[in-house]
Structure 1
């Protein structure tokens, strides 16, 4: 009985903390009319395949892949690659996933075929 009461009480505290927590500071950037960072379109199908084919045949991609493998990270292949276009700036963004040594899923990020760096997936 005590365990049930304790779990209900803890669950209530967690639920309340979700609503009582302060707002998300990122929301301010979403409301900024000069920010065009959210004006993106995800690319699928044949167009996505063409963009990925051009990227993986480039020296920029080969160098980035080699650096990732040299660091001891696990290259996952080209599956689950994400392709988006920023409609305002006309920049094609490609994120290629790999697994870091600590198990974190990371993305190797390319803007118009230029390697920009890596970041945890979902940021």
Structure 2
């Protein structure tokens, strides 16, 4: 009986210390000065002009050939995304490709320079 009572008291103490601990246990707050999400999507004629300049550039042609050589497929410009980073003035263009395993990949260009590719967040 004493062991059961001691177990209940210790269990209650542990549960109480988990839920009634002082302070905030979640410390993963965003930094107030973070400018990483300070982007604006571009639409319409301005978007079309930026895409036209990109796909006519040698950097894009070289990247496209490299990606196609790896066995991926270019999806065309229909789903291309254009963003402008408001703090740094960088134009970011994401060009979709389909990888060999069917994953949609975004080839990313910063001011016309290829920065790499990653799976698209959907």
Q: One fold, TM greater than 0.5?
A: yes
Distance 2:58 2:32 in 1: 37
What displacement does 1:33 show? 2.3
Residue 116 of structure 1 aligns with which residue?
115
Distance 1:109 1:122 in 2: 13
What displacement does 1:93 show? 0.2
Residue 48 of structure 1 aligns with which residue?
47
Structure 1, unmatched stretches of 5+, are 1-24
Q: CA RMSD in A?
A: 1.8
Residue 21 of structure 1 aligns with which residue?
none
Spell out the pairing of 1:68-107 with structure 2 (5 A cutoff).
68-107=67-106
| Structure (1/2) with the larger helix percentage | 1
Structure 1 length as normaliser, TM-score?
0.74
Higher alpha-carbon Rg = 2
